[in-house]
Amino acid sequence: MKKGYYGNWGGQYISELLMPAIIELENAFEEIKNADEFLDELKDLLQNYSGRPTPVTFCPNLSKELDLEIYLKREDLNHTGAHKINNALGQALLAKKLGKKRIIAETGAGQHGVATATACARLGLECEVYMGEVDCQRQAINVYRMELLGAKVNRVQSGTKTLKDAINEALRDWSSSVETTHYLLGSALGAHPFPEIVTYFQSVIGIEARQQILETANKLPDYVVACVGGGSNAIGIFKGFLDDENVKLIGVEAGGKGIDTNEHASRMCDPINSKPGIFQGSKTYVLQENFGQIRNTYSVSAGLDYCAIGPEHTHLSDIGRAKYDYLTDEWAIKGFKMLSEMEGIIPALESSHAVGYVIKNHKLHKPGEMILINLSGRGDKDLMSVINYEKEN
């Protein structure tokens, strides 16, 4: 496999202005990822600051209702409320070792921005976050959290005013500030080495989950299910089970108002608009118009509202190791409410896509099959989005 590629996908399609920073980052990561001092410091942060390991929780009521064995990997119990802190702490620590004093980041739902602001506060780094104006409005609480943590939040007014536009602005910033700034990318996408770096820091999810489920249930799950926006939480848990051929992996994208509408964010399931393309640094599947213009996307979940998918997910689909499907807003809201009511756990709207997918398709499973769902975050941030959705529907 060529460096930076997953099969035919990935690569390093980026401005010449950024190549020195990319090469510096790649070399530093290769050197530091096996360095005892770095790993010990990161382990201490994850355990004693973020709260790892996160538990695996059995859902007795949902399991009885669906006639399945449902377990959750509880990334919602991390400090800041989502899996994003794993990567934010890792990259911020890496940047500090590189001598970078300023961190920039993009965010959609706000969780990566909050995690980055948190890591910067802890490590004494300057922080700026780019966030689309639409996302700022529907995730106003997270905007305030970032500012409270000392970050400057730049509201992006261009394009659809969502995640892809926030990434564009962050890349523009980085192009003019590479000597002092590290771009702390939040998902397993973009130019090499970012997909590899993010996957490395998020793989702790799958490593923990595999050991925990064996200790708890004395067997591996039949299925591992995770939501997929850019793909960091999904690739994080998938990594723990890739070599277990009997464990089926399912990634759930945002179906929005339906795959037959223009209001969705399913890159792997839209037979008309999803095409191979080069976008924001890598070759992957991208929602496009006939002449290559990027299609607007939509999801009730800000964190899944993105037009491309991480290149390793595209590769896993190609080789048949993982299946990618979609879920509409309606079913995601059902998943959100059902898990809350039956188990006392309020999931993020992103994670609700994975929960809702299992609920919707439970009759396709054999009774008693074990399903492990990655609960990537908690739903406090999404309460107003759900309230507004219910008013409108």
**Share of residues in the chain with pLDDT > 70 (%):** 100
2 found inside a domain:
no
Digit-coded pLDDT (tens) for 326-366 = 999 999 999 999 999 999 999 999 999 999 999 999 999 99
Residue 368: pLDDT above 90?
yes
Residues 141 and 65 in one domain: no
Digit-coded pLDDT (tens) for 11-31 = 999 999 999 999 999 999 999
Residues 96 and 157 in one domain: yes
109 found inside a domain:
yes
* Residue where a domain stops, chosen among 173, 199, 225: 199
Digit-coded pLDDT (tens) for 309-323 = 999 999 999 999 999
Residues 233 and 335 in one domain: yes
CA separation for the pair 373, 224 (Å, rounded): 6
Residues 171 and 34 in one domain: yes
- The range of the structural domain enclosing residue 335 comes to 51-81+203-392
Residues 346 and 282 in one domain: yes
pLDDT value of position 291:
84
Residues 43 and 56 in one domain: no
Catalytic residue ranges: 59, 83
Residues 310 and 360 in one domain: yes
Residues 93 and 77 in one domain: no
252 found inside a domain:
yes
339 found inside a domain:
yes
Residues 22 and 55 in one domain: no
Q: What φ, ψ does residue 274 adopt, rounded to 5°?
A: -90, 120
170 found inside a domain:
yes
369 found inside a domain:
yes
- Asked if 8 contacts 166 with a C-beta cutoff of 8 angstroms, the reply is no
pLDDT band per the 50, 70, 90 thresholds, residue 1: low
pLDDT value of position 50:
98
pLDDT value of position 138:
87
Residue 220 maps to which CATH number? Answer: 3.40.50.1100
Digit-coded pLDDT (tens) for 86-110 = 999 999 999 999 999 999 999 988 9
* Residue where a domain stops, chosen among 146, 172, 199: 199
1 found inside a domain:
no
CA separation for the pair 254, 279 (Å, rounded): 19
Residues 341 and 210 in one domain: yes
Residues 55 and 173 in one domain: no
Mean pLDDT for the chain overall: 96
Residues 263 and 321 in one domain: yes
* Residue where a domain stops, chosen among 152, 176, 199: 199
